Amino acid sequence: MTIYIVQRLLLMLPTLFIVVTATFALMHIVPGDAVLAQIEEGTNLRPEQLEQMRERLGLDKPVYVQYGDWLWGLAHFDAGVSLFTGRPVIDQLTRAIPISIELIIFSQILSIGVSIPIGVISAIRQDTWLDYLLRTTSIGMLAAPSFWIATLVIVLGAYWFLWSPPIGYMPFWEDPVTNLQQLFLPSAIIGLAGSATKMRMTRSTVLEVLRQDYIRTARAKGLSERVTIVRHVLKNALIPVITIWGASIAGLVNGSIIIENIFGLPGVGRSMITAINNSDMTQLQINVLFYASVIMVINLIVDISYTWFDPRVRYR
């Protein structure tokens, strides 16, 4: 197992290299200028002044030199400074990471807490009115994008109830109640939007396991339905669900980026949008590197978890 984990971690390096290289190339292709983004509207500068600003930021160098300098600094644990604010990009990232991580954790707790029980109930009550209702609900959740639901909640809440969700972020250790009020709604929107696929997969796998011979044997031995489901069905049925959860992490990250901007949460996603608008390549690259690392680490955890759900799985 240790050798497998080390191999997977080493394989992450070329993947991260490709990700940051593609990000760097795209930021040079799309329109935008970090120097012009810093200039207030209506301010007129001479060409030589603009050139001095580009030289100060290192943007006068060839593209390959800029990229090489950034990689060299990253290899020495120096991700550089923001082209827009002039502050170290790590400072902005470390302030934003706890917010995004908390949002992702809360959304996944809600997603798993809703999808698995509902999927099991739908399978146990197959082809009943409850099953049809739950399946229809899951299709609706699957069809509705999280950003549309978030916009609808804010607009209808303000129009009908004169209510708007709390904007901003309060750390949990400073004010737990305010923190939960700020994060509950965006976490619920992301979690419920992502729970539809898990719910349908849980239903399918539970139905498949319920038809196995060892389940009939367990029932013949007199085990209650609850014990049969919890001890013998769930553990075997959850492997495909865990796989789907790992594959949906990228979608979860995309959803969190949009939701953070809608609800004004100063997380990594909002920092990415700001960096794109300001053509701040340095900040954007470190944010993308962080999200890519999170996705790959979670998928590694998912692969390792197979050994617990199915003892027949062995990694060498």
Is residue 20 included in any domain, yes or no? Answer: no
pTM of the model: 0.79
Domain hosting 120: range is 89-309
Instruction: Give the CATH number, domain containing residue 125.
Output: 1.10.3720.10
d(CA 80, CA 92): 12
Residue 226 lies in a domain: yes
User: How far apart, in whole angstroms, are the C-alpha atoms of residue 69 and residue 79?
Assistant: 10
Q: Domain for residue 18, yes or no?
A: no
For residue 170, is it within any domain?
A: yes
* Exposure string for 75-109, b = 16+ CB within 10 A, e = fewer: eeeebbbbbbeeebbeebbeebbebbebbbebbbe
Would you say residue 150 lies in a domain? yes
- Give the integer Cα–Cα distance in Å for 108 and 245: 9
Amino acid in the structure at residue 237: A
From residue 279, how far is each of 33, 111, 271, 284 by CA, in Å? 6, 34, 12, 8
In a domain? residue 229: yes
* Residue closest to 33 by CA, chosen among 46, 50, 21, 56: 50
Predicted pLDDT at 42: 45
Q: How many domains does the chain have?
A: 1
Amino acid, res. 106: F
Report if residue 240 sits inside a domain. Answer: yes
58 within domain boundaries? no
- Dihedral (CA of 265, 275, 100, 262) sign: positive
Each residue of 12-38: pLDDT tens digit?
888 888 888 888 888 777 766 666 666
pLDDT in tens, 253-309: 777 788 888 888 888 888 888 888 877 888 888 888 888 888 888 888 887 877 776
For the chain, the maximum distance between any two Cα atoms, rounded to a whole number of angstroms, is 87
